[in-house]
Structure 1
Amino acid sequence: MRSKIFDDAELERLRREAIPSSNELATAGDAAPQATDQLPRVEDAMDLPVVVDSDDDEMVSHELEQMRSILEEAILETRTMPLENRPRLPRIPLSKRNRAVVRALNPMLVTYLEASRDLCETDSVLFGAAVAACRIIGAKLPLAGRATKQSSAIPAWRKRIEDRIAKARALIGRLISFRSGNNRPRVVRSVRMAFAGTKISLSQPDITQKLTERIDDLKQKIAAWGKRIRRFTERSRRFNQNRLFQSDQKRLYKSLERPEVCGAGPGPDRANTVAFWRGLWSEPVNHSEGSWTEVMASQCASITPMDPVIITPDDVAEAVRRAPNWKSPGLDGLHHYWLKGFMVCHAVLARQFQEALNQKSLPSLFTTGITHLVPKDQWLMA
């Protein structure tokens, strides 16, 4: 259906073949009433944490108690945890099992959200619920803060090849040094390791020729490894360009038209940069207004004031519904996916946002960000 391979008529035919009608179900039920007792439950096969259709109430209550204890432990951990120490929440697959976990945790949050006093506390409760859901699902969570471990941009295969090249170059240097007459123990030991597994002895008369052949062999290997790196790099570049062409053609054409200038020259001085932005953002400025302000005030006097803004839970639900699931989160690290899943928080968020609007004050969590300085083109920087 996503790829639009079949038309509507073909899809309807496939649905009729895959899903039997009610008459067929009734006939099958009359013919074999014992068959349903012998088949395993779908929920059990998927290992759902909450068995909704099960008749065993004790098993359901036991699983819910386990989830409740995990939720309480996660909320206690995140309630007093600084924002920079919060773990990075992973992107979980949109599967039936994961949705069942989120639906089961949703009503458990009512008690914690009712006791929440402000937006910061509500945010910590929701983040703890997200951590609990990840633990129940089995998703990997880092133990330290989000900024403690960063993934390397160099792939593992390239690191292995570069290590081989470095070792081969070091061995070539020692072979050349031994051929020049250096007989130090470390050099001799390296030469013997280079000829290990062969019948070549360092005391034979044609050792110089053997050393030259070994050096040439290592140089050819280095050339082959370097060509492999260039080939993989070129393939990766083409793959990234094709993928960028599918998502953002304008960005691709810009990258092809002009070369990258990031890091081409010395970076800006830290003290001057801080002083420049501090003069714009931190120091108050007294503006001298002209006569045009009185004209604008007289023209705006007849404008009807806007009605008071009333934030409802439906407004919060609509705003969350239109937001992407896994868009890069803010300082709190909470994705929109969790705000969509934990629907009981919509009423609490609406009330607390209304209070913040009436008081004309928001917590620093919603007003603090990170500024990244992006260098422009050279002619703009000049």
Structure 2
Amino acid sequence: MHRLFVELGPSITVTEQNLADRVRYILRSNTFDVTELERLRREAVPSSGENAAAENAAPQLAEQTANVDAAVNSPVVVDSNDDRAVAQELELEQMRSILEEAIVETRSTPLENRPRLPRLALSKRNRADVGALNPMLGTYLGASRDLCETDSILFDAALAVCRIIGAKLSTAGRATGQSSAIPALKIRIEERIVKARALIGRLICFRSGNTRPRIVRTVRMAFAGTNVSMSQPDIMQKLTERVDDLKQRIAAWGKRIRQYTERSTRFNQNSLFQSDQKRLYKSLERPIVSGTGPAPNQADTVAFWRSLWSEPVNHNEGPWTEVVASQCVGITPMDPVIITPDDVAEAFRRAPNWKSPGLDGLHHYWLKRFMVCHAVLARQFQEALNQKSLPSPFTTGITHLVPKDQGATDPSKYRPITILSFVLQTLAAMKYCQKLHKHRLNCAIENIEHAGLATYCR
């Protein structure tokens, strides 16, 4: 590069280090994109078929030489406004391409096969990435036809943010992948304890006179890396010392598990005391029922809950309904419910960020941060209330069966907890907003919920 530069500008005194520093600065500051760099390279180094054009471009080359001379002798300003503008423009274009790829990828993907969105740290960088992607959603949300499409666009935007910041995504889906409630640290220590106990058993067998090849091979592996050999006269003493050492390790690992469990329990109790004291006191009074026992039969469970939810029921209304209807004739009808973007924003503000999402996999955090969606959701919420109906994905939830008693196998001894989409939960949460009449919005929401609530059992 230095030789070529000397040929282009022989009157300029520059060293190889100056050129290397200048190139490094240009590449790091993203002063030129790839297309601009290629154009400058073609202008600076003409091909063999462009010799005639190079002669006509002599004045331009002289001007470029003067500019290079001025650039080399001038001080380097890293944080210039032009450099920041070009870098920001390139970064925004990359974000837009990642967003469009996410939209195309998840357009035909079922809700239960969507990747699980991770929890993000509340850092300045993450907030900046979300804030940069927020205005881009206006174009896509403006063409949204219903709540399903709006929810899909918001999920795609959240997926794009996770990919931009390099967050780890689970590609196994949420319908089949069930996370374990046991901490990874406890699992690793328990695996060590199991292996240590198995090794103790084989060492004791060898000490008792069992010389099968498998036992002998295990003993040799137990003393690998030490100066102990099988032919030593004090091998039995060494075996006893090795067994005692393993027993002490097992005791230390068990104590470590107990310490971790106690510390985790204290942490959870302190957190629960800050959020819900009533629930904490109930958990202290009553033993916690875990669901690690035998699960009920799946066919019996489906049959039990299908008899409650799926079969139609004919209700016989009593004569009191006619009396109530006659008394309500003279009541003045209530004003229609009007939902504004401020109501939607207030409902999002009250909700926690990372509660377990519904079938769509969208957390409250994204509904809060993508503020451009509030006006669109307010309009579509209003349409849903006027039509008294919601799309089926928002009345479909993931149902978890929580056992009431320890070791229960009867489906009736389980309490169903259904997690619905946060979009529907937001519509229900707005009845607590001060700008809306509680009774009017509550009645409108009940009309929607009574239209039919499906459950997605897992």
**TM-score, normalised via structure 2 length:** 0.63
Q: Distance in 2 between matches of 1:176 and 1:99?
A: 59
Amino acid at match of 1:251: R
Aligned match for 1:299, one of 310, 327, 330: 327
Q: Bigger shift: 361-370 or 70-79?
A: 70-79
Q: Bigger shift: 132-141 or 76-85?
A: 132-141
Q: Is the 8 A contact 2:358 2:398 kept in 1?
A: no
Q: Does 1:330 align with 2:367?
A: no
Aligned match for 1:182, one of 203, 210, 213: 210
Runs of 5+ unmatched residues, structure 1 = 1-36, 45-52
Q: How does 1:41-120 map to 2 (within 5 A)?
A: 41=79, 57-120=85-148
Q: Which has the higher contact order (CA 8 A, sep 6+)?
A: 1
C-alpha change, 1:219 and 1:341, in structure 2 (3 Å) is: closer
Runs (4+) off by over 6 Å:
37-40
C-alpha change, 1:82 and 1:208, in structure 2 (3 Å) is: same
Q: Distance in 2 between matches of 1:57 and 1:263?
A: 56
Q: Distance in 2 between matches of 1:144 and 1:108?
A: 29
Amino acid at match of 1:74: A
Secondary structure of the structure 1 residue equivalent to 2:398: coil
Q: Is the 8 A contact 1:174 1:191 kept in 2?
A: yes
Q: Is the 8 A contact 1:327 1:336 kept in 2?
A: yes
Q: Equivalent residue for 1:125?
A: 153
Q: How does 1:18-29 map to 2 (within 5 A)?
A: none
Q: Is the 8 A contact 2:353 2:365 kept in 1?
A: yes
Q: Does 1:240 align with 2:262?
A: no
Q: Does 1:222 align with 2:250?
A: yes
Q: Distance in 2 between matches of 1:322 and 1:234?
A: 32
Q: Equivalent residue for 2:290?
A: 262
Cα deviation, residue 300, structure 1: 0.9
C-alpha change, 1:161 and 1:362, in structure 2 (3 Å) is: closer
Q: Distance in 1 between matches of 2:281 and 2:316?
A: 45
Q: Equivalent residue for 2:338?
A: 310
Q: Equivalent residue for 1:249?
A: 277
Q: Is the 8 A contact 1:79 1:125 kept in 2?
A: no
Q: Bigger shift: 60-69 or 278-287?
A: 60-69
Cα deviation, residue 210, structure 1: 4.3
Cα deviation, residue 286, structure 1: 1.2
Q: Distance in 2 between matches of 1:240 and 1:56?
A: 45
Cα deviation, residue 297, structure 1: 0.9
Amino acid at match of 1:122: T
Q: How does 1:145-224 map to 2 (within 5 A)?
A: 145-147=173-175, 149=177, 151-196=179-224, 200-203=228-231, 207-224=235-252
Q: Equivalent residue for 2:34?
A: none
Q: Tell me the C-alpha RMSD between the 2 structures.
A: 3.4
Amino acid at match of 1:323: A
Secondary structure of the structure 1 residue equivalent to 2:347: helix
Q: Distance in 2 between matches of 1:60 and 1:236?
A: 44
Q: Equivalent residue for 2:172?
A: 144
Cα deviation, residue 157, structure 1: 4.1
Q: Distance in 2 between matches of 1:95 and 1:221?
A: 40
Aligned length in residues: 336
Q: Is the 8 A contact 1:320 1:339 kept in 2?
A: yes
C-alpha change, 1:334 and 1:267, in structure 2 (3 Å) is: closer
Q: Is the 8 A contact 2:291 2:402 kept in 1?
A: no
Cα deviation, residue 62, structure 1: 2.9
Amino acid at match of 1:252: L
Q: Distance in 2 between matches of 1:91 and 1:155?
A: 17
Cα deviation, residue 226, structure 1: 2.8
Q: Distance in 1 between matches of 2:131 and 2:293?
A: 53
Q: Distance in 2 between matches of 1:133 and 1:293?
A: 54
Cα deviation, residue 100, structure 1: 3.3
Runs of 5+ unmatched residues, structure 2 = 1-74, 415-458
Q: Distance in 1 between matches of 2:229 and 2:127?
A: 69
**CA deviations over 1:235-255 (Å, ceiling 9, x no partner):** 433343344334333333322
Secondary structure of the structure 1 residue equivalent to 2:402: coil
Q: Equivalent residue for 1:29?
A: none
Q: Distance in 2 between matches of 1:113 and 1:91?
A: 24
C-alpha change, 1:176 and 1:102, in structure 2 (3 Å) is: closer
Amino acid at match of 2:139: T
Amino acid at match of 2:160: A
Query: What's the % identity of the aligned pairs?
Result: 79
Q: Equivalent residue for 2:317?
A: 289
**CA deviations over 1:307-348 (Å, ceiling 9, x no partner):** 223333343333333333333322212223322333332332
